[in-house]
Structure 1
Amino acid sequence: MIAKAPVPGRVKTRLTPPFTPEQAAGLAEAALADTLQTLSTVPAGLRLLVLDGEPGDWLPPGWQVVPQSGGGLDERLAAAFADAARLAPSAPALLVGMDTPQLSAAALAEPLSAARRAGVDAWYGPAADGGFWALGLARPTAPLAARLLRGVPMSTPHTGSHLLDRLTATDLTMHHLPELTDVDTAEDARRVAAEAPHGRFAARLADFELSHGGDELTPTTALQVDSPTGMPR
């Protein structure tokens, strides 16, 4: 998982307004905690958090933390796969962002099972905004990750299509994961919370909307998250 520590003013800055920097960071922390909890239940030999910042009490046990590399998001995503390949050679790797707290373990369990992995080279999780929330490689290497990700324009509505072009050009057999909505706007946040009403994210959003009288948090324009790929910048 690649993430940014939920520090006010450094995460979800494009959700302010209507949220305050502290509320935006609170939503980011809840999304991070929900996603980490879900991924903790998915069978894995190694759970790796590639983090920009310092871990907090939202980090569950069983996770190894490595710092994000420098450079643009494309370079940091490629470096995350290189870290996974270095720490768990020859093991499949799935990279997930922190902007889809509605992600369920069931959405990953079947396509990532040993029986279904046979013959699959890559897994791609499209985001509703044209980006992607997950990318998996059956045989990740630093050169392959660099070839797929470096130079892909991030933070655009066409980020996902550019990545798909790279995957196709590399002749990788793909499995498409379900499309998910990133938390880009207050409206998106409500939609995501409704899909996972019992999570931390839904509870945190409900608290904030109650404190603001609900309708005051309705934005007048679309607000973009830190990264429309579904992964934090």
Structure 2
Amino acid sequence: MSMPPLPSGATTLLVIAKEPVPGRVKTRLTPPFGPEEAAALAAAALEDTLRTVLTLPALRRVLVLQGSPGPWLPDGFDVVPQSAGTLDRRIAEAFGGCTGPAVLIGMDTPQITEPHLAPALAPDAWDDCDAWFGPAEDGGFWALGMAAPDPALVQGVPMSLPYTGGLQRARLADAGLTVRDLAELRDVDTADDALRVAAEAPGGRFAAALSRLGRPVVR
């Protein structure tokens, strides 16, 4: 099932995200932050993520959005609505809209840089490789890529559990796919996560937003 080398920029990059509306995003940040503050952090994380994606080689950049676009959305993205249902179904549907190699990330890792995703976007990324998997420190995953996107390989995987990542990776491997791993990253879920992630990217909008809220980042 492996593919021949593809030219740089032949992969679709998907970002699945929620509109940063107070009370609907980053609810695990409250407390210590209020809903408005958590939403501000979510908006900053999303903008950092989207602006990094703009610097990466891609056939198409797609924001798979729950909600409506806002001032945090830069030019250069196609915006498609998320489907209804559980997260596994929404991710599956996002892949279902792709006809070639695709890599999906979320809005919870504003510290990502070009090197984090470079292996999955290189011209030989899909040479003897069917899937890319980015594990998260909390047991989930921050990135998922498939050479031939198959929604069935995500549908039904229980999400937001300490073993979600292991189950998702096993689903890929059990289907006979050759899976390669990206670096492990920390998601922003809690206030401690926010501080740690901001310290990894102190020059970003997320770190600046955290500092404005009275949580200066230790550099």
Q: Tell me the TM-score normalised to structure 1 length.
A: 0.84
Distance 1:110 1:69 in 2: 29
- CA deviation string 1:41-62 (max 9, x = no partner): 1101110100000001111111
Residue aligning to 1:223: none
Q: Does 1:203 align with 2:208?
A: yes
Q: Where does the alignment leave 5 or more consecutive residues of structure 2 unmatched? A: 1-14
DSSP-derived class of the 1:78 partner: helix
Q: Which residue of 2 aligns with 1:145?
A: 151
Aligned length: 202
Letter in 2 for 1:11: V
In 1, the alpha carbon distance for the partners of 2:125 and 2:107 equals 25
Q: Distance in 2 between matches of 1:135 and 1:116?
A: 13
Matched, 1:170 2:175: yes
CA-based RMSD: 1.1
- 1:13 deviates by 1.2
- Aligned with 1:23: secondary structure? helix
Q: Aligned partners of 1:41 and 1:175: how far apart in 2?
A: 23
1:67 aligned partner: 81
C-alpha separation in 1, matches of 2:75 and 2:189: 29
- Distance in 1 of aligned mates of 2:121 and 2:65: 24
Alignment match, 1:31: 45
Offset at residue 115 of structure 1 (A): 2.5
Kindly indicate whether residue 196 of structure 2 is the aligned counterpart of residue 182 of structure 1.
Answer: no
- Hey, what's the Cα distance between the residues in 1 that align with 2:76 and 2:180? 28
Name the CA distance, whole Å, in 2 between partners of 1:164 and 1:45. 25
* Counterpart among 122, 133, 145 of residue 131 in structure 2: 122
Percent of matched pairs sharing the same residue:
60
How far apart are residue 157 of structure 1 and its match? Answer: 0.2
Is 1:45 matched up with 2:73? no
Structure 2 letter corresponding to 1:96: I
Please list the CA deviations of residues 84-118 of structure 1 after superposition, one character each: whole Å capped at 9, or x if unmatched.
Answer: x2xxx2x2100000000000012212442012431
Q: 1:78 aligns with which of 88, 92, 98?
A: 92
TM-score (norm: length of structure 2): 0.89
Give 1:9 deviation, angstroms.
0.8
1-side partners of 2:140 and 2:115: how far apart?
Answer: 22
Picking from 27, 49, 52, the partner of 1:13 is 27
**1:136 aligns to what?**
145
Match of 2:101 in 1: 92
Q: Deviation of residue 150 (structure 1)?
A: 1.3
Q: Could you say what secondary structure the match of 1:51 adopts? A: strand
Pairwise CA distance, 1:130: 0.2
- Given that residues 137 and 187 in structure 2 are in contact (C-alpha distance below 8 angstroms), is that contact kept between their aligned partners in structure 1? yes
1:33 Cα offset (Å): 0.2
CA drift of 1:151 comes to: 1.2
- How far the C-alpha of 1:174 sits from its partner, in A, is 0.9
CA distance in 1, matches of 2:87, 2:125: 30
Which of residues 102, 113, 125 is equivalent to 1:104?
Answer: 113
Equivalent of residue 156 in structure 1, options 146, 154, 161:
161
Letter aligned with residue 127 of structure 2: A
Mapped partners of 1:14, 1:20: distance in 2:
10
